[in-house]
């Protein structure tokens, strides 16, 4: 919730040992300070602050067209089942790995442009990488990148580059990917990580724009790609988190042309993302909320029980669940534990044990009954099983 990428620099062995106490003898590294990038929730909150209306759990079912040009979308509320027609001067397809699905919704004959690559990450206790510095191995034996980064008092180690064909919401790590990370991490850390040390394993799928037909995903550019269909659908895809503002600027510039909107000077270069603070003390509880931490603390003052931790192994408190529902558009246990607090990613087993209390707190806010709570807990535990190594 603060921004800015710090410069990369090579660190010699004796200096590295000062920062990183678990580096294997003979290992050389590149070092980079990793900032906390604003994630999707803070960006959604920012557009709310600016007067926009984000809508979650709303699925696009098809396009509205007028004179063969796209004029809006048919959308379905996934909670109520009700469908809506939403009109707009321009429609933007920014759907990542589902880009081709939306392109074919506009034109069934549209050429597929996305090649997918899966990346897997393992979470370990902080003892595997003492200190606050990250390490990166730019070239493993098979040409891939390996990194270990301190994250929420844990260590995240990754990654892999595995081609996949199916775009799915919940990708799972392959056994060989887990083995790859464990085996290579052991070459650079004096304490060898094993499967029993893994607190959580999670996978993500990269949408890579492949116009040249390359079969090697590692060779495909990570640059973003902008496309306008004959019906006026604007598609932005590829890219990465570190270039999201440039991607957005290019997309909006194109939207202005398509929709005939008034041209304006961009204001986002120096815009403060929701929750911005000039200085963040990482030792403070709730520091990861930035300026919102003050409001969350007030919740615990008005209702002291909300200050109780949800689990002894993780820092999250009950007030964070209440806050996620009221201010961060969370609707389910999965929303809170996976996409707001990140508990699932930090310690999958602990998050499963947090599910019942989390469901109860959400139910209070949304006026749901005990049956809903039980269904949510059951569904969440089934999901979380995939985040534990076999």
Residue with tokens 């999707």: 40
- Greatest Cα pair distance, the chain, in angstroms, is 69
Check residue 219 and give its pLDDT: 54
CATH number at residue 66: 3.50.50.60
Same structural domain for residues 23 and 99? no
3-state secondary structure of 1: coil
Query: Residue 211 CA to chain centroid, in angstroms?
Result: 26
Check residue 92 and give its pLDDT: 98
- Which residues contact residue 63 at a Cβ distance below 8 angstroms, ignoring those fewer than 6 apart? 70, 72, 73, 74, 91, 105, 106, 231, 233
pLDDT in tens, 226-271: 999 999 999 999 998 889 999 999 999 999 999 999 998 888 888 9
Q: Is residue 301 part of a domain?
A: yes
CATH number at residue 135: 3.30.9.10
Same structural domain for residues 239 and 318? no
pLDDT in tens, 18-44: 444 555 554 444 443 333 334 789 999
Q: Which residues of the chain have pLDDT under 50?
A: 1-20, 26-38
Secondary structure element (H or E) that encloses residue 360, with its range: helix 348-366
CATH number at residue 340: 1.10.8.870
3-state secondary structure of 42: helix
Q: Is residue 87 part of a domain?
A: yes
Check residue 187 and give its pLDDT: 85
Query: Residue 263 CA to chain centroid, in angstroms?
Result: 32
**Sheet strands (E) in 152-228:** 154-158, 162-164, 200-209, 224-228
Structure tokens at 95: 């759907």
- Which residues contact residue 205 at a Cβ distance below 8 angstroms, ignoring those fewer than 6 apart? 96, 97, 116, 117, 118, 119, 164, 167, 168, 171
- Domain range for 377 is 287-387
* Sign, CA torsion 83/89/94/100: positive
Same structural domain for residues 305 and 382? yes
Same structural domain for residues 69 and 160? no
Q: Is residue 272 part of a domain?
A: no
Closest CA to 86 of 111, 55, 112: 55
How many Å apart are CA 216 and CA 222, to the nearest integer?
A: 13
How many structural domains comprise the chain?
Answer: 3
Same structural domain for residues 56 and 143? no
Phi, psi of 221 (to 5 degrees): -60, 145
Query: Of 166, 188, 207, which residue constitutes the final position of a domain?
Result: 207
Same structural domain for residues 67 and 134? no
Q: Is residue 4 part of a domain?
A: no
Provide the 8-state DSSP code for 22.
Answer: T
Q: Half-sphere exposure of residue 235, counting CA atoms within 13 Å on the CB side?
A: 28
Angle between helices 348-366 and 318-327 in degrees, nearest 10 = 50
Same structural domain for residues 182 and 203? yes
Same structural domain for residues 347 and 313? yes
Same structural domain for residues 292 and 380? yes
Same structural domain for residues 15 and 127? yes
Q: Is residue 270 part of a domain?
A: no
Q: Is residue 82 part of a domain?
A: yes
Ramachandran assignment for 26, one of left (phi > 0), alpha (psi -120 to 50 degrees), beta (any other)? left
Q: Is residue 136 part of a domain?
A: yes
Q: Is residue 370 part of a domain?
A: yes
Check residue 78 and give its pLDDT: 97
Same structural domain for residues 17 and 152? yes
Same structural domain for residues 236 and 373? no
Closest CA to 232 of 103, 52, 108: 103
């Amino acid at each position: 919730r603060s921004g800015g990428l710090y410069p990369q620099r090579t660190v010699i062995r004796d200096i590295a040992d000062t920062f990183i106490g678990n580096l294997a003898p003979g290992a050389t590294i590149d070092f980079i300070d990793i900032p906390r990038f604003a994630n999707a929730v803070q960006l959604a909150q920012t557009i709310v602050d600016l007067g926009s209306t984000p809508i979650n759990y709303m699925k696009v079912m098809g396009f509205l067209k007028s004179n063969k040009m796209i004029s809006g979308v048919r959308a379905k509320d996934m909670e109520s089942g009700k469908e809506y027609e939403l009109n707009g001067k321009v429609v933007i397809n920014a759907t990542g790995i589902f880009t081709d699905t939306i392109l074919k919704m506009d034109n069934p004959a549209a050429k597929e442009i996305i090649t997918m690559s899966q990346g897997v990450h393992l979470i370990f206790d902080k003892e595997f990488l003492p200190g606050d510095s990250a390490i990166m191995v730019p070239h493993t034996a098979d040409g891939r990148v390996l990194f270990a980064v301190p994250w929420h008092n844990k260590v995240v180690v990754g990654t892999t580059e595995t081609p996949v064909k199916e775009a799915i919401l919940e990708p799972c790590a392959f056994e060989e990917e887990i083995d790859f990370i464990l085996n290579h991490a052991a070459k650079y850390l004096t304490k060898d990580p094993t499967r029993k040390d893994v607190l959580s394993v999670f996978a993500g799928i990269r949408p890579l724009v492949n116009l040249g037909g390359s079969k090697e995903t590692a060779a495909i550019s990570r640059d973003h790609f902008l496309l306008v269909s004959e019906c006026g659908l604007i598609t932005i895809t590829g890219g990465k988190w570190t270039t999201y503002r440039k991607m957005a600027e290019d997309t909006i510039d194109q939207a202005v042309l398509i929709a005939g909107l008034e041209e304006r000077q961009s204001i986002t270069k120096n815009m403060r993302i929701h929750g911005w603070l000039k200085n963040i003390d990482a030792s403070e509880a709730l520091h990861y909320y930035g300026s919102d931490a003050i409001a969350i603390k007030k919740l615990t003052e008005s209702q002291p029980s909300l200050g109780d931790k949800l689990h002894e192994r993780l820092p999250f408190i009950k007030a964070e669940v209440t806050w996620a529902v009221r201010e961060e558009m969370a609707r389910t246990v999965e929303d809170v534990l996976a996409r707001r607090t990140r508990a699932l990613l930090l310690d999958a087993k602990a998050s499963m044990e947090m599910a019942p209390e989390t469901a109860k707190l959400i139910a209070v806010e949304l006026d749901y009954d005990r049956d809903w709570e039980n269904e949510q807990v059951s569904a969440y535990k089934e999901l979380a099983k995939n985040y534990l190594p076999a």
